[in-house]
Amino acid sequence: MKWLVLSLALVVALLAAVTLGPAAVPAGQLFHSAIFWDLRLPRALLALLVGGSLGAAGASLQSLVRNPLADPFLLGLSGGAGLGAVLAIALHLGGAWTLPLAAFAGALLALGLVFRLGLVGGSALDPRVLLLGGVAVGAFCGAVTTAVVSLAEASALRNAYLWLWGGLSGASWDTVTLVAVYVPLPLVVLLAAARPLDLLTLGEEPARYLGTDVAVTRRRVYLAASLLTAAAVAVAGVIGFVGLIVPHLGRALFGGRHRALLPASFLAGGILLLLADTLARTAVAPRELPVGVVTALVGVPLFVLLLRRWTAA
Amino acid sequence: MDRGLILDVRDASFRYSGAARDALAGASLAVSAGEFVALLGPNGSGKTTLVRLALGLHTPHAGSAAILGRAAGEWPRGALARAVGVVSQREDNLFPQRVRETVRLGRYPHLGPWARERDEDREAVERALERCDVAGLADRWLWTLSGGEYQRVRIARALAQEPQLLVLDEPTASLDLRHEMELFELIRGLVDGSGLAAVFVTHDVNLAARFADRLVLLAEGRVRAAGTPADVLRRDVVEAVFGWPLAVSSFDDRPQLTPLRRQP
Amino acid sequence: MRRCAQLLVLLALACHPAERGVSAGGAPAQRVVSLAPSLTELLFALGAGSQVVGRTVYCLYPPAARAVPSVGDGLNPSVEAIAARQPDLVLLYRSPQTETAARQLAALGIPTMLLRDDRMEDVARTARLLGRATGHPVAGDSIARLIDSLVTAPIPPPSARITFVVWDAPPIVIGSGSYLDELVIMAGAENVFHDLHAPSATVSLETIASRDPDWIAILRDSSSAEPPAWAGRREWRTVRAVREGRFLILPAELFGQPSPRAPEAVAFLARLLNHSPPPAPR
């Protein structure tokens, strides 16, 4: 029943995303228009994939670092992606794919650094070190980025920020195909770790006694969730709150078991981003709002509601 | 090898890296099916280290630790969780959970990453809930339970693993008299009813003496005494181990300790 | 693209033209630090180039300006670097940050002028103002008259529809209330985003596609006539002008900032439009 509602919501969100837009396309011509085929449809699909990735990554990272306030971007990836994008502009690297690739490389660099930091205490990534390391690496990347922006003699660097908060405007069939090929692998890794993740929410020691190889699980989950986030930031920039709020919604509706929670978070994340992006494109048309602003505007009240339910219960 | 022997730690020594002395210096602990063994000893005597060695979390520097004839450290964690259920000292749930949900986690060692829950898994969960007398609480949130109820739920989760050995690390700490008694009665009943082996780490020497088949008394990393309660709880031994004057009496044919006031 | 981006930042800050500041008193200023590329250009056009003792890193026109020592960024000025040039007048682009810097400079006894030259009319007024402040009132008046005559000249009927694309992802275009919008109108064309009451704004690609401009105008530092890299991206090819390769590549040094060379820019754009093949019928 819940899944039916979620699927219905997905259909509604997809329909809204492809039929609504600043350009008036007559309903009869929708399926013959380039605006539908080359702009709205790939953008809607990308929103679905990116939102879904952030939702699933957020749900698994919250259990991994044992912190319900963890957001996929808390682990330094947005800082790394921003640094990558700024460096690409500062070094005058050209090409249509330069910025996404550079941002992806930057995110991977941050990912590697945080991962290495997490291993200081042994082979089992320490969640506390992951969190602190993520925040530290993110702040460091941010500082280097700011230094590059203020020192380099190119004000186009400011545009790297625009790009980093640019949302889904770069959507095309190429990006959709790329992401659609990329995303399943980390998702499958996360799903395979669903049961160990359930156990990890009890704490490291009980998880071990219930049959979990904690070190392996943590490494796999961290890498898979971060790779999802890195892809999301490379094609859509930093989109906050989806990865934070969607897992809590998922838990409220589907319970804490990751076998249900992860797919539910993927779907709910996709739906939320689809709706947010549709709103971003149409609310102040012909202008466009950054989609991250809309996810925050929609997400924060939802979150406050959840917090109230939590503390009232 | 004794066919019923489940846990067999022999002359095991272990030192934590950076520590000045051995946490465990040649300690042994053997537990057979249908046996309730209580592990006693003052704080820092090596009880937790011995349990960790027995569960394969540490590898002994000398001696051995085996479960069902296989070195504890060589067990894959999943297979070990089908043989041994543990109620650890601490756990904290990150997210709200209901009683039945948390007991279901006990079935995970029996399920592959992709396998669906089978009827036998659901039955094992219900059976475990009933054996621990928490079936009536199955739909409650964990945080609404009392301390004693919560411990029984955790034991139910360990039972859902369908283990041959149950290890309980100070499960009665912070429980009131009734809940503590209920817990000891529960474990005794489980051991008698199903041939389960139980290792019960506790500070309650008197209850251990009344419920356990055998006691193992640790002091400074060594087994100071092991055997029936009457063999172990001799006044000179216990006074030396705990460093406090005691009187030993008897109740139901079991020795009971009474700590004495210091002479004014 | 580079200066175009700076323009964008300038435009984003613009809300109303006004100037304020400590006047240089009676005597013309002899040591002027200019903290905006447009003001630096205007000073050189007035013949006050030799009085300029400091500029921003972005002040690259005229070429002679590059010989002047740089004091860093203009929007986030370094008061210490400016004071070290021992100026008797500092020209700042008016914004909250520069107002703070102006107060600090005033506290050091250095006269400042906060100017806002976002539109064509501002160039005329600023030219008169700076002409007087630097002792070149005649040159100032003559530049102002030139600009005034451009502003008051009859506007030719629009013959082509243009979109300025400042940035591709997210797409940012130029709206009304901007210097470029004015140039387009004077060159006999129409900015398809004239209805956007903002110097620049993020729009969705489908809006650009559905407004179907004849030309995509972009500013560029180099003289390369290649279409921009993003023109090859599939989603941009939903815009007819991109598909047909109808790009107006404009030199950023001429178009990137309000300038006394506005007549030249208008003529450049008009010539480009007249000599290019007319757009295919829609």
Decide if pLDDT at A195 tops 70: yes
| Cα of C163 vs its chain's centroid, Å | 17
In degrees rounded to 5, what are phi and psi of residue C191? Answer: -85, 115
Taking only the tens place, the pLDDT of each residue in C27-42 is 899 999 999 999 999 9
In terms of Cα–Cα distance, which of B60, B55, B4, B56 is closest to B27? Answer: B60
According to the model, what pLDDT value does residue A70 have?
Answer: 86
Q: Kindly state the average pLDDT of the residues C94-110.
A: 90
CA distance linking residue B194 with residue B200, whole number of Å: 17
Taking only the tens place, the pLDDT of each residue in A147-186 is 887 776 555 666 667 777 778 988 889 889 999 999 999 9
Question: A283: distance to nearest CA of chain C, Å?
Answer: 12
In terms of Cα–Cα distance, which of A51, A54, A50, A101 is closest to A74? Answer: A54
- C209, A174: Cβ pair inside 8 Å? no
Residues A174, A31, A43, C169: is their CA dihedral positive or negative? positive
Decide if pLDDT at C2 tops 50: no
Q: Which residues of B touch A63 (CB under 8 A)?
A: 94-95
The model's confidence at residue A82, banded by pLDDT at 50, 70 and 90, is confident
Model ipTM value = 0.91
Q: Kindly state the average pLDDT of the residues C264-274.
A: 92
In degrees rounded to 5, what are phi and psi of residue B44? Answer: 80, 10
CA distance linking residue A292 with residue A294, whole number of Å: 5
Taking only the tens place, the pLDDT of each residue in A1-10 is 889 999 999 9
Decide if pLDDT at A305 tops 90: no
According to the model, what pLDDT value does residue C1 have?
Answer: 41
Q: Kindly state the average pLDDT of the residues C234-254.
A: 92
Geometric angle at alpha carbon C22, from C21 and C27, rounded to 5°: 135
Contact of A204 with chain C, judged by CB distance below 8 Å, is answered with no
Q: Kindly state the average pLDDT of the residues A78-82.
A: 88
Residues B134, B136, B138, B144: is their CA dihedral positive or negative? negative
Average pLDDT, chain C: 86
**Hey, what are C234's tokens?**
């599939």
C touches A (3+ CB pairs < 8 Å)? yes
- A96, C230: Cβ pair inside 8 Å? yes
- Chain A, nearest residue to B154 by Cα: A206
- A287, C229: Cβ pair inside 8 Å? no
Residue listed under structure tokens 């502009």: A89
Question: Which of A63, A198, A255 minimises the CB distance to B105?
Answer: A198
- A68, B85: Cβ pair inside 8 Å? no
CA distance linking residue A260 with residue A194, whole number of Å: 9
Asked if C99 contacts C105 with a C-beta cutoff of 8 angstroms, the reply is no
- C2, A155: Cβ pair inside 8 Å? yes
According to the model, what pLDDT value does residue A159 have?
Answer: 67
Average pLDDT, chain A: 88
The least confident of A121-135, B246-260, C58-72, C243-257 is A121-135
Q: Which residues of C touch A20 (CB under 8 A)?
A: none
Question: B49: distance to nearest CA of chain A, Å?
Answer: 14
- B106, A257: Cβ pair inside 8 Å? no
In terms of Cα–Cα distance, which of C1, C68, C81, C78 is closest to C39? Answer: C68
Q: Which chains touch A (3 or more CB pairs under 8 A)?
A: B, C
In degrees rounded to 5, what are phi and psi of residue A68? Answer: -70, -10
Q: Which residues of B touch A205 (CB under 8 A)?
A: 88, 90-91
According to the model, what pLDDT value does residue C274 have?
Answer: 86
Instruction: Kindly provide the b/e burial profile for residues A45-56, where b requires at least 16 CB atoms within 10 angstroms of the residue's own CB.
Output: bbbbbbbbbbbb
- Strands B24-32, B5-14: parallel, antiparallel or unpaired by DSSP? antiparallel
Q: Which one of A204, A210, A217 makes the best mutation probe of the B interface by having the most chain B beta carbons within 10 Å?
A: A210
Contact of B234 with chain A, judged by CB distance below 8 Å, is answered with no
**Hey, what are B16's tokens?**
């934590």
The model's confidence at residue A55, banded by pLDDT at 50, 70 and 90, is very high
According to the model, what pLDDT value does residue C58 have?
Answer: 87
Decide if pLDDT at C16 tops 70: no
Question: C44: distance to nearest CA of chain A, Å?
Answer: 22
H or E segment to which residue B198 belongs: strand B197-201
According to the model, what pLDDT value does residue B115 have?
Answer: 87
Asked if B164 contacts B68 with a C-beta cutoff of 8 angstroms, the reply is yes
According to the model, what pLDDT value does residue A246 have?
Answer: 93
Q: Kindly state the average pLDDT of the residues B17-45.
A: 94
Question: Which of C167, C195, C232 minimises the CB distance to A159?
Answer: C167
Question: B246: distance to nearest CA of chain A, Å?
Answer: 36
Contact residues, B window 99-128, toward A, CB-based 8 Å cutoff: 101-102, 105-106, 108-109, 111, 113-114
- Selected residue with higher pLDDT from C94 and A309: C94
Contact residues, B window 128-147, toward A, CB-based 8 Å cutoff: 141
Q: Which residues of B touch A211 (CB under 8 A)?
A: 77-82, 108-109
Q: Kindly state the average pLDDT of the residues B26-51.
A: 95
H or E segment to which residue C219 belongs: strand C215-220
Angstrom CA distances, B78 to A182, A211, B124, B233, stand at 31, 4, 17, 38
The model's confidence at residue C54, banded by pLDDT at 50, 70 and 90, is very high
First to last CA, chain A: 25
According to the model, what pLDDT value does residue C3 have?
Answer: 41
- Selected residue with higher pLDDT from A248 and C7: A248
H or E segment to which residue A171 belongs: none
Q: Kindly state the average pLDDT of the residues C151-165.
A: 91
Count CB atoms within 10 A of the CB of residue C187.
24
Contact of C210 with chain A, judged by CB distance below 8 Å, is answered with yes
**How much of chain A, in percent, has pLDDT values that exceed 90?**
49
Q: B180 pairs with which residues across the strands? A: none
Asked if A142 contacts A82 with a C-beta cutoff of 8 angstroms, the reply is yes
Contact of C66 with chain A, judged by CB distance below 8 Å, is answered with no
Q: Give the alpha-carbon dihedral of A238, A241, A243, A247, to 10 degrees.
A: -170
Decide if pLDDT at B3 tops 80: no
According to the model, what pLDDT value does residue A67 have?
Answer: 86
Q: Kindly state the average pLDDT of the residues A188-200.
A: 96
**Hey, what are C86's tokens?**
């021992």
CB proximity list for C156: less than 8 A, separation 6 or greater? C186, C187, C188
Q: Which chains touch B (3 or more CB pairs under 8 A)?
A: A
Taking only the tens place, the pLDDT of each residue in B73-115 is 999 999 999 999 999 988 888 888 999 999 999 999 999 888 8
Asked if C77 contacts C92 with a C-beta cutoff of 8 angstroms, the reply is yes
Contact of A288 with chain C, judged by CB distance below 8 Å, is answered with yes
First to last CA, chain B: 54
The model's pTM: 0.86
Q: Kindly state the average pLDDT of the residues B168-186.
A: 91
- Selected residue with higher pLDDT from A223 and A94: A223
Geometric angle at alpha carbon A255, from A252 and A259, rounded to 5°: 130
Q: A230 pairs with which residues across the strands? A: none
Q: Kindly state the average pLDDT of the residues A181-192.
A: 96
Taking only the tens place, the pLDDT of each residue in B135-159 is 999 999 998 999 999 999 999 999 9
The model's confidence at residue A124, banded by pLDDT at 50, 70 and 90, is confident
Decide if pLDDT at A96 tops 90: no
In degrees rounded to 5, what are phi and psi of residue B52? Answer: -65, -40
Contact of C6 with chain A, judged by CB distance below 8 Å, is answered with yes
- Chain B, nearest residue to A247 by Cα: B95
- C196, A153: Cβ pair inside 8 Å? no
In degrees rounded to 5, what are phi and psi of residue A103? Answer: -65, -40
- A68, B95: Cβ pair inside 8 Å? yes
The least confident of A108-112, A236-240, B42-46 is A236-240
In degrees rounded to 5, what are phi and psi of residue B222? Answer: -120, 155
- Count the alpha carbons within 13 Å of A37 in the hemisphere toward its beta carbon: 8
CA distance linking residue A77 with residue A111, whole number of Å: 6
CA distance linking residue B201 with residue B212, whole number of Å: 11
Q: Kindly state the average pLDDT of the residues C112-127.
A: 92
Taking only the tens place, the pLDDT of each residue in C168-210 is 878 999 999 899 999 999 999 999 999 999 888 889 899 999 9
Helix-then-strand count for chain C, H and E? 11, 11
Q: Kindly state the average pLDDT of the residues B242-257.
A: 94
- B93, A210: Cβ pair inside 8 Å? no
According to the model, what pLDDT value does residue A93 have?
Answer: 78
Whether the link from the prior residue into C170 is cis, omega within 30° of 0, is yes
According to the model, what pLDDT value does residue C131 have?
Answer: 95
Q: Which one of B48, B52, B77 makes the best mutation probe of the A interface by having the most chain A beta carbons within 10 Å?
A: B77
CA distance linking residue B169 with residue C269, whole number of Å: 84
Contact of C201 with chain A, judged by CB distance below 8 Å, is answered with yes
According to the model, what pLDDT value does residue B22 have?
Answer: 92
- Strands C160-168, C171-174: parallel, antiparallel or unpaired by DSSP? antiparallel
Decide if pLDDT at B184 tops 90: yes
3-class secondary-structure state, position C115: strand
User: Which amino acid makes up residue B100?
Assistant: R
Q: Kindly state the average pLDDT of the residues A20-49.
A: 88
In terms of Cα–Cα distance, which of A210, A233, A192 is closest to A103? Answer: A233
- A195, B113: Cβ pair inside 8 Å? yes
First to last CA, chain C: 29
In terms of Cα–Cα distance, which of A211, A248, A208, A276 is closest to A61? Answer: A248
- Selected residue with higher pLDDT from C24 and A253: A253
- B108, A208: Cβ pair inside 8 Å? no
Geometric angle at alpha carbon A83, from A78 and A88, rounded to 5°: 130
- C235, A170: Cβ pair inside 8 Å? yes
Question: Which of B79, B80, B101 minimises the CB distance to A255?
Answer: B101
CA distance linking residue B100 with residue B141, whole number of Å: 9
